[in-house]
Amino acid sequence: TDMDGFIAGLPKAELHMHLEGSLEPELMVALARRNGVEIPYASAEQARRAYAFTQLQDFLDLYYRGMSVLKTEQDFRDLTSAYLERVARDNAIHVELFFDPQGHTERGVPLDVVMRGITGALDEGQRKLGISHRLILCILRHLSEKEGLEALEAALPWRHRIVGVGLDSSEKGHPPAKFERLFRRAGELGFLRVAHAGEEGPPAYVREALDRLRIDRLDHGNRSLEDPALVERLRHLQMTLTVCPLSNLKLKVVERLEDHPLRRMLQAGLRATVNSDDPAYFGGYLGDNYRAIQKALSLTRDELATLARNSFLGSFMTEAEKKAAI
Ligand code: ADE
Ligand code: ZN
């Protein structure tokens, strides 16, 4: 359609994408074979059929099992390259990627292997596809703060390649306050700070992420809309929200995409963006998310252009890079 053409033509940044969540079943099966790792799927089709989760924890269980096939530098390089090639077709010109080092070091994969693979592919993506990048190290919130602090310290040899620290995994029962000291340390080390909050968790978790983690960007944030004072605060801060429509649908954060709060966020003056979260698991990459939410909410060209512009404004690009992109 006309709108799909308009969306395709918009240069975009993606700000909320977990690299391990871009592991397509085909690559998972191929890497399982290459590395002799057992997975409970005989084929990519079987894996896809198993992706029937309806809440965050059910997804996460499959996500951590899926990433167990990633063992070598080449695996991380293949994973990252596949994502970049795919998102280049959606006219992404800048990406800020999450990765979960604890999901790998726990399994005995050294951080150097992870980092060499990912950064090698990112550098190649910059050279060959013209896609600029930032990396955000995510801390798994279902583990202890002490383990998270150890993961943060272990990453310091790679400090020059990591722009920020994030917080992901099981939200309920693991409030932001659990990681207050870790985020203070991250700030002292000069990292930018982001956190998943208000995906399944209540508005209070978003307030905690602001007050106690001092976040620079809010991942998801959907449930902030339940609290008008919080909305006003986010608007006043011009806090960027990295919203993930197809993820929200798949994990039942919204019942139907037509009920999605994205337009209400824009109308409230919030700096919302569109992102894919875990595209291999949630049924779509960046462009799919734009197209699906446009159709569901009948978003206008102006609204779509605002979303794409927000993706650069909310990015961790330099001011000069932002200027060039917008
Ligand atoms: N890890 C990967 N994707 C996630 C999500 N949507 N929420 C929390 N943790 C995640
Ligand atoms: Zn996420």
The yes-or-no verdict on residue 75 having pLDDT over 90 is yes
pLDDT tens-digit map of 234-272: 999 999 999 999 999 999 999 999 999 999 999 999 999
φ, ψ dihedrals at 42, nearest 5°: -85, -20
Instruction: Show the domain range for 257.
Output: 2-325
Which residue, among 193, 139, 141, has the nearest Cα to 164 in the 3D structure? 193
Q: Using 50, 70 and 90 to split pLDDT, how confident is the model at 9?
A: very high
Q: What is the pLDDT of residue 117?
A: 99
- Mutation choice for ligand 1 from 18, 97, 200, 253, CB with most ligand atoms inside 8 A: 18
Q: What is the pTM of this model?
A: 0.98
Are the C-beta atoms of 302 and 267 separated by less than 8 Å? Answer: no
Q: Is 199 a catalytic residue?
A: yes
Q: Closest Cα partner for 224 from 214, 245, 239, 213? A: 239
Residues in the chain: 326
Residue 35 vs residues 28, 70, 172, 237, 314: alpha-carbon distances, Å: 10, 8, 34, 47, 39
Is the predicted pLDDT of residue 174 greater than 90, yes or no?
Answer: yes
Dist CA 214 CA 195 (whole Å): 10
pLDDT score at 1: 79
Question: Taking 90 as the threshold, does the pLDDT of residue 179 lie above it?
Answer: yes
Asked if 271 and 49 count as a contact pair (C-beta separation under 8 A), the reply is no
What tens digit of pLDDT does each residue of 108-124 get?
A: 999 999 999 999 999 99
Average pLDDT of span 126-135: 98
β-pairing, 92-99 vs 132-140, is parallel
Over range 283-289, report the average pLDDT. 97
Residue located via tokens 């209070």: 204
What are the structure tokens assigned to 257, written together?
A: 């995409």
Radius of gyration from C-alpha coordinates of the chain: 18
Q: How many domains does the chain have?
A: 1
CA of 2 to the centre of ligand 2 (A): 30
Distance CA 210, CA 80 (A): 31
**What ligand 1 atom has the least distance to the C-alpha of 100?**
1
- Please report which ligand is nearest the Cα atom of 64: 1
Question: Which CA distances in Å does 3 have to 189, 247, 299, 305?
Answer: 44, 22, 9, 11
Tens of pLDDT, residue by residue over 190-211, are 999 999 999 999 999 999 999 9
Which of 20, 24, 199, 200 is an active site residue? 199
The pairing of strands 217-220 and 240-243 is: parallel
Secondary structure, 3-state, 252-285:
CCCCCHHHCCHHHHHHCCCEEEECCECHHHHCCC
Q: What region does 139 belong to: left with phi over 0, alpha with psi -120 to 50, or beta?
A: beta
Closest ligand relative to 281 C-alpha:
1
| Residue closest by Cα to atom 8 of ligand 1 | 169
260: Cβ below 6 Å to ligand 1?
A: no
Q: List alpha helices for the chain, DSSP H.
A: 2-9, 25-35, 44-50, 56-66, 73-88, 102-105, 111-129, 145-154, 180-188, 203-211, 228-237, 245-250, 262-267, 279-282, 286-297, 301-313, 319-325
CB atoms within 10 A of CB 278: 26
**Domain CATH number, residue 61:** 3.20.20.140
